[in-house]
Amino acid sequence: MERAIESLRTFGYAIYDAGFSPSEMAALRERFDAVREMVYQQGGGRDRLTRIDEQHTLRAMLAHDASFLELARHPDILAIARQLVGDYIVLNQQNGVINPGNGREYNQGKWHRDLPYQHFVSSRPLAINALFCVDEFTHDNGATLVAPASHKMEAFPSDEFLRQTALQAVAPAGHFIILDAMTFHSGAVNRSPRDRRAVNHVYTIPMIRQQIDLPAVLGADYRKEDSSVRSLLGYGLEVPRSVEEYYLSREQRVQGSRAAM
C-alpha cells in the first residue's frame, strides 16, 4: 500500500492488487452483466441510452447490487484515499464502464481529468479515482492511457509530450488502476472482439457535489444503522431547501450530539 501511495504522489497513478480470488471475480462479472441488463431496462432501453451516449456507462451500480457497495468500500482503497485526500471522503460517483470491442467508438476515448473543468494543482489531491478491472486491461483491449505526473501541471500537456511520455496502464483483472483525479488519462481503442468491463470510483473531499445524489437514489433509511457507510455515500451533506429545513437539520444534529454524551 505504501508503494501505491508513493507512486500516486510522484507519478499520479498506481496499480493495486485488490486480492480477489478467481471465484470472486467470476461472481463479480456475472453481477456486472446483470446490472448492465437492469440499467438498459430501467433506462428506457439500449436505443434510448445510445441516443444520449450512455450505452457504455452504468451509473450508480451499488443502487442495483450491494456487491458493488462492498467494492466501493474496499478497505485498502479507502485507506489509500484517506491517506491522500483526508479522513473525510465521499464517494462522488461509481460507474460501470464498458469499452466496446471491435474498435467501436467509446465516449471515454479522449484525454480528460476526472474533475471536469478544474485545472489547478494543490498540495494534496482533491479526489482519487479507483478504476476496478473486471476484465484484464491489455494493449489490445484498450487499457487506460496515462500522462504520468500531469497532476502536477495546470495546463494540458502538448501532443509531443504525450507522444513521448504517455503510457498504457496494463493490469490484470481484479486490480485497481488508481489515479490522482487531476492526472490526465484516456481510454484507448479496444481492438479485441470482446467488450472490456470496469467499475470506476471517484472519492472526493466532501465539498465537491456528487455526480448523482446517492442519498436521494438510495433513500433516507438506507443502511441507517451504519454511520460509516452513510458518511461515505454522502448522507448528512444534503443542502437544506428552506430555512425551516436548515433549522430541522440543526435540531437533529443537536439531538444526536446529546444522545452520544
User: Is-contact 15 132, C-beta < 8 A?
Assistant: no
Q: Which domains does the chain have, with CATH numbers?
A: 2-212 (2.60.120.620)
pLDDT exceeds cutoff 70 at 260:
no
The rounded mean pLDDT for the chain is 92
What is the per-residue pLDDT for 187?
86
Average pLDDT on 54-77 reads 97
pLDDT exceeds cutoff 70 at 108:
no
- Are β-strands 185-186 and 90-99 bridged in parallel, bridged antiparallel, or unpaired? unpaired
Q: What percent of the chain has pLDDT over 70?
A: 97
The 10s digit of each residue's pLDDT in 220-258 is 999 999 999 999 999 989 888 898 988 888 888 888 777
- Are β-strands 167-168 and 13-17 bridged in parallel, bridged antiparallel, or unpaired? unpaired
pLDDT exceeds cutoff 80 at 118:
no
Sheet holding 90-99, edge to edge: 13-17, 175-180, 127-133, 196-204, 90-99, 57-59
The 10s digit of each residue's pLDDT in 5-18 is 999 999 999 999 99
